[in-house]
């Protein structure tokens, strides 16, 4: 009989290291808890702006994830920090967090009946190494009735969400026709890709 494993392969790779999440987002903390490894969460002061020369969504989210990873303070020799940033990309431009309910409704009207991309950039950083990657998921909405848009905006909290929606909420349950790629990426963190990348980085970095 095989000996039961007392820890997963990522925990084994991280032996002697400290994993740090550069975020206090409840959703990202919940995802990190599901990785099955101990971690700390801390953030620094980050202005989420990027140079005008960056016009590709994949480059933008990786740039912002690097800002977050670097802003979380000096790293101890044993630490590996993870920074992440997610945005919705439609019609060749980013759709960020809406400033008010009117903007949230306008964003959802723009996404109604169409396909967009959810992009998450992730940066892994240690005192000796740094790497970034991007995960992309294509999401297609069914046509959304204006009444349903108003209902969602008034009953839920779209103002803190890129693209003015959360796939795990009512609007995702009732109006998303299809997803191509990682579901968890749309929620906020591509955990499968992160798990594999972290294992390799922990050995190398």
Structure tokens at 12: 């084994």
* Active site annotation includes 160: no
Estimate the crossing angle of helix 146-155 against helix 101-111, to 10 degrees.
140
Place of tokens 């969400």: 161
Are residues 84 and 120 in contact, defined by beta-carbon separation less than 8 angstroms?
yes
Cα separation, 132 vs 97, in Å, equals: 23
Q: Which residue carries 């579901």 as its tokens?
A: 183
Distance in angstroms (rounded) separating the CA atoms of residues 63 and 110: 26
Question: DSSP 3-state assignment of 103?
Answer: helix
Which entry of 45, 52, 56, 85 is annotated as an active-site residue?
85
Could you give the maximum distance between any two Cα atoms of the chain, in Å? 61
CB 39 within 8 A of CB 20: yes
Q: In which residue are the tokens 């109604």 written?
A: 112
Q: What are phi and psi of 135, to 5 degrees?
A: -115, 130
Q: Which residues are known to be catalytic?
A: 85
């Amino acid at each position: 009989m095989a000996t039961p494993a007392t820890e997963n392969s990522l925990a084994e790779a991280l032996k002697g290291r400290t994993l740090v999440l550069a975020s206090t987002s409840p959703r990202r903390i919940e995802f990190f808890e599901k990785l099955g490894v101990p971690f700390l969460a801390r953030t620094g002061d980050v202005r989420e702006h990027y140079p005008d020369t960056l016009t590709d969504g994949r480059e933008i989210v990786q740039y912002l994830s690097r800002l977050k990873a670097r802003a979380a303070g000096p790293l101890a020799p044993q630490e590996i920090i993870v920074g992440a940033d997610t945005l919705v990309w439609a019609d060749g431009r980013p759709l960020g967090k809406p400033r008010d309910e009117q903007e949230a409704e306008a964003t959802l009207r723009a996404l109604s009946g169409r396909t967009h991309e959810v992009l998450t950039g992730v940066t892994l950083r240690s005192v000796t190494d740094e790497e970034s990657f991007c995960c992309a998921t294509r999401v297609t909405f069914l046509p959304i009735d204006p009444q349903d848009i108003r209902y969602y905006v008034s009953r839920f909290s779209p103002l803190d969400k890129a693209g003015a929606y959360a796939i795990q909420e009512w609007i995702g349950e009732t109006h998303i026709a299809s997803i191509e790629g990682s579901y968890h990426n749309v929620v906020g963190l591509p955990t499968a890709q992160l798990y594999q990348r972290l294992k390799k980085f922990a050995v190398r970095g």
